[in-house]
Amino acid sequence: MLNSLNDLVATGRRADALALFARFLRETPDNSIVATRILSALSQRNFALPVARPMRHAGKLGSLQFSPAGDQVLTPGADGLVKIWRADTGALQLTLTNGSAGFARFSPDGRWVLTSDEAGAYLWDARTGYSVSEAMLHSKQLDRARFTPGGKQVLTTSLDLTARYWDVNVAPSPVAP
């Protein structure tokens, strides 16, 4: 019996082995060999445990990101919603929407959320959930949108074969070259 348990451990099936060890220990609680093997198996492995409840969307998730402080999680979904969650509990804090959202990112300081879809890029206040700018558009489908490292500008690229640099410290407008 112990040989089959050792085989499970050796082949990486530690969860199955632990379940069997636990069953044997329940049946023979005074068996110090089994108790020692359980402790050994548990101490040789880290187990991933859920920290918070699931953060759900009605459609596929596009991307995800922790806030710079690590206390929030940002998830855009194919349901057209961008959601901000508490990282420690999974509780929904805010819902942003622009009809569709394949991408979302916090600004480096966590103050803003940048979302984008095929039509354009959009800037949101991460505390209130309010839209704080007009759409940042190109003449064709938007490809990418990213904050600069300082978080005061946004760079967008498009299928119109251009990149545009936007000042988002105030109402977004292209930055002069």
- State pTM to two decimals: 0.70
Of residues 5 and 123, more confidence is placed in 123
In this prediction, residues 81-106 reach a mean pLDDT of 87
* 48, containing H or E segment: none
Report d(CA 31, CA 12) in Å as an integer: 24
Task: Provide the pLDDT for residue 146.
Answer: 93
Task: Provide the pLDDT for residue 135.
Answer: 87
Query: Phi/psi at 37 (nearest 5 deg)?
Result: -65, -40
Report d(CA 177, CA 172) in Å as an integer: 15
Superfamily name and number for 65-174: YVTN repeat-like/Quinoprotein amine dehydrogenase (2.130.10.10)
pLDDT digits (tens, 9 = 90+) for 113-160: 998 888 889 999 999 888 888 889 999 998 889 999 999 999 999 999
Please classify residue 108 by burial: count the beta carbons closer than 10 Å to its beta carbon, then call 0-12 exposed, 13-18 middle and 19+ buried. middle
Task: Provide the pLDDT for residue 39.
Answer: 77
Task: Provide the pLDDT for residue 177.
Answer: 40
Task: Provide the pLDDT for residue 164.
Answer: 94
pLDDT at 112 over 90: yes
- Return the domain boundaries, the chain: 2-43, 65-174
* The total number of residues written for the chain in this structure: 177
Q: Which residues pair with 72 in a beta bridge?
A: 86
Task: Provide the pLDDT for residue 147.
Answer: 94
Report d(CA 71, CA 84) in Å as an integer: 10
pLDDT digits (tens, 9 = 90+) for 11-53: 877 778 778 878 888 888 888 887 887 777 677 666 667 788 8
Paired tokens of 15? 């969860």
